[in-house]
Structures are given as C-alpha cells and as structure tokens.
Structure 1
Amino acid sequence: MNIVVDHVTKTIHRAVVLQDISLNFESGKVYGLQGENGSGKTMLLRLMCGLIYATEGSVSVNDRRLGKDLDFPESVGVMIESPAFIDEYTGQKNLELLAGLKQLISVSDIHNTLQAVGLDPNDKRTFKKYSLGMKQRLGIAAALMEKPDLLILDEPTNALDEQGVAMIAQLIRKECQRSALVVVACHDADFVQSVSDVVIQMQAGRVTSVIGK
C-alpha cells in the first residue's frame, strides 16, 4: 500500500488545522507522528483513513483519491481517541460483532488477537467493568484483528503500564514485518523513536521535520 498526501490543507469552521502538508507513506514501514496537543496529528490520521477529507490538495491510496475514487482505504484498522464498545458485551462479543460486518476472520482469530494484546478471551466481565488499560487493549485488538494493510493508532500507549507499552511496541513491529503500513501518533517521544522507521514532527498544523532511520 502507498499513501500520498499532496499539498493538503484542512479548514474547520474557518480555522486552518492542517496547512500545505505533503507526505508519502509506504507499506512495510512504521511512521511516527510527534507533536504537542493541537499540532494536527489526529487530524492527519483522520484524513488518511477517510474520516474527513481535505479542503485543498488530496490524499491518495494506491493512486485512488479519497473522497473521489473511494470513501476510505479498503483494508484499514483504526484506533483514534478512546475506544468505544457496547458496555453490556464482553470483549470477545464486542469483537465478534465488529468482525461480523466484513466476515473476514473467525472466532479463533479473535481469540488469538485478544491473547496477543494481553486479554483473556474467556473473561466474562462486560466492557463497562474493564479498567482503562483493558479498554485500551481491546481498542488495539479491534484495530489489529483483521490484519489490515493500513494500521492507524492514535495514542496507543494511553492507560497502559510498562508491560503494556512493551506489548504494543512488539505488536507494531510484527505488523510492519508482515508488510503492513503503520502510522502511530503518540505524545511519548521515546516510544515513537523506538518503534518508528520514519518520525514526522508536527507543529501548529504543519510538518516541521521528517527523519528516517
């Protein structure tokens, strides 16, 4: 998968939230977005997965323009902001409900994904009884479970302990190894540096630097 962000500007209620951004993203790499709150990281993620469209410029996925040739990338796993699930369902049942929309994976696949993020597939607790860390892990599992070509994670380390942060770092590298395109926005600079092949620094809606390694 290849994503091209070409001279993109995004305006919301007359406020410019992204300004003249041009970037290229390729499969098999992890791209880390760094910047303070309000720097434009989440807006850029929303543009890349088709949740919003550019006011000026374009975002293209494999040479197909979002908002014109397709609504959103065909194979994408997304976790942006706080994970939202049905409070009365278990983690397993919530993921089964989501998986039923596309019917790409089995119950066994869901089982394995829950285990990979450190959750017990047989846990009978409902989502509303989950801790913040467990809710975060379930959100990560939902993004991962269908093995998407594009994986977008916004602040994946929120509410995770040191063991959980190490777990998500390992999962991100595994996704990269299977040639997924991974884009991570995170306030934790050390985490971004440790998992990313390319680090993109943002400030006030602009890209200020792109550093590859």
Structure 2
Amino acid sequence: MIKIENVIKKNKNTTILHDINMNIPKGKCVGLIGHNGSGKTMLLKAICGFTKIDSGTIKVKGKEIVFGKEYIKDSGVIIEHPPFINYISAWDNLKILANINNKVEDKDIENTLLKTGLFNDKDRKVKTFSLGMKQKLRIAQAIMEDPEILILDEPFNGLDRDSVANLQDILMEFKLSGTTIVLTSHDERHIEALCDEVFILEGGKSIEHKVLAHA
C-alpha cells in the first residue's frame, strides 16, 4: 500500500530523514516510535505529499507522491494541528469538509460524532472546546469518509482514559476492515495494542524494525 525507498529530506544543512526504507502492506497498522526530532512527523508529511523530499521515492497504491503535484488520496490525516473554523459548530466544520468530496451524508456525520463522543456537543462553537474535544474533532475529520488509509500523528494526545480506549476500539475496527494505518505515539502501550509492525526512528534514521507477536 505504501512503499518508501531511500528517502532523504534536508533542511538547509541538516538532514532530517536519512535514507528511509519502509514497506507498509494494505490492511496493516504500522507504528513509528521516536523522541521529539526523530523525524516521525516529517516522514508522515512526506507520505502525504505535504513536504518536498530531496531524493528517493514514496508510492501509495503504486502512484508516486510528489510535493506540489500528487498528494495522498482516500485518506484521513492528523498531522500537528489541522485548522478548524472556530466560530462555527463541530457539526458545521464536518459538514463543510463533507461537501468537498460529497462522499458522506448527514447521517454519516451524525454517526461519526456519536462514535467519537462529540454528538452531545455537535452544536457548540469549536472555540469553546477543550483540548480533548478538539482532538476528538480532528479524529472525526480523519475517519468521517471511511478512508482506505489513516495517517495519524499522536492521535491520543489530549484524550482522557475513556477516550483513549474508545479511539483504540475505533482504530481496531478500521484495521479489521482492511484500512492501512500509520501512527505515531509517545506511549508505546498504544503502539503495542494496535500495531502489527513498529519502526524506531532516531535522528532521522530508521534504526530498528520489529514485527509484533499479534501481527
């Protein structure tokens, strides 16, 4: 599903990604682990086509991803802090997004809000949301159109214990239905619960690849 070959990414005189190679099969959940600055977020941006790489190739479903030309398709993405329209409701934010591709109807938006635990707050303006509620809305944006691929950078950030368990259930459901998932988490328990494979990054290099026992 996602093939990364010899990817190098530089920023001026600093190499952020060093010769990264990964093969992520369809329907698998792959975790990226590493300290801040290890290159995890930059790699996710490169997979999506949100940043230019200096050399190497990234292919998704056989099509090369090229910054400014070809971006990832049929995907749900959480990278850093996707913007909301803060002065309108959670429902309206999702409705505007849904109108871009016209893949989902109002009942699908409703189901997504129920699934993520936001239904009772759907009419509240996003500017009144807590950090955890905003994270749930990011998750709702990512999963609403039932994508083939989920690219999730620290999706558990800001969530309380019950919401973490709920998100784990949501992601497991997607995985079992054949969705390909790439995620990062600073808490290795999330990785171990969900992922089939793990890549450990350090200083922009992939220093270890592990296949987990339940894969």
Where on the TM-score scale, by shorter chain, does this alignment land: which range?
over 0.9
How far off is 1:13 after superposition? 2.2
List runs of 5+ in structure 1 lacking aligned partners: none
**8 Å contact kept, 2:113–2:122:** no
Residue in 1 that maps onto 2:85: 86
Distance 2:82 2:17 in 1: 24
After superposition, the C-alpha distances for 1:65-112 in whole angstroms (9 at most, x for unaligned) are 111896112211101112420011111100000111111110110110
Mean Cα displacement is larger for which, 81-90 or 91-100?
A: 81-90
2:73 pairs with 1:74: yes
AA matched with 2:64 = R
Residue in 2 that maps onto 1:98: 97
Q: Give the number of equivalent residue pairs.
A: 212
**8 Å contact kept, 1:5–1:59:** yes
How far off is 1:166 after superposition? 0.6
Distance 1:171 1:122 in 2: 19
TM-score, structure 1 as length reference: 0.95
List runs of 5+ in structure 2 lacking aligned partners: none
Residue in 2 that maps onto 1:108: 107
Moved over 3 A (4+): none
Q: CA RMSD in A?
A: 1.5
Residue in 2 that maps onto 1:15: 14
TM-score, structure 2 as length reference: 0.95
**8 Å contact kept, 1:91–1:121:** no
Residue in 2 that maps onto 1:142: 141
**8 Å contact kept, 2:52–2:67:** no
**8 Å contact kept, 1:83–1:136:** no
Residue in 2 that maps onto 1:37: 36
Q: Give identity over the alignment, percent.
A: 35
Distance 1:15 1:108 in 2: 48
User: Cα gap change, 1:21/1:93 in structure 2, threshold over 3 Å: closer, same or farther?
Assistant: same
Residue in 2 that maps onto 1:27: 26
How far off is 1:176 after superposition? 0.7
SS in 2 for 1:108: helix
Residue in 1 that maps onto 2:53: 54
**8 Å contact kept, 1:111–1:121:** no
How far off is 1:52 after superposition? 1.3
After superposition, the C-alpha distances for 1:160-212 in whole angstroms (9 at most, x for unaligned) are 01111111111111111111110111111111111111111110000011111
AA matched with 1:30 = C
Residue in 2 that maps onto 1:174: 173
**8 Å contact kept, 2:40–2:201:** yes
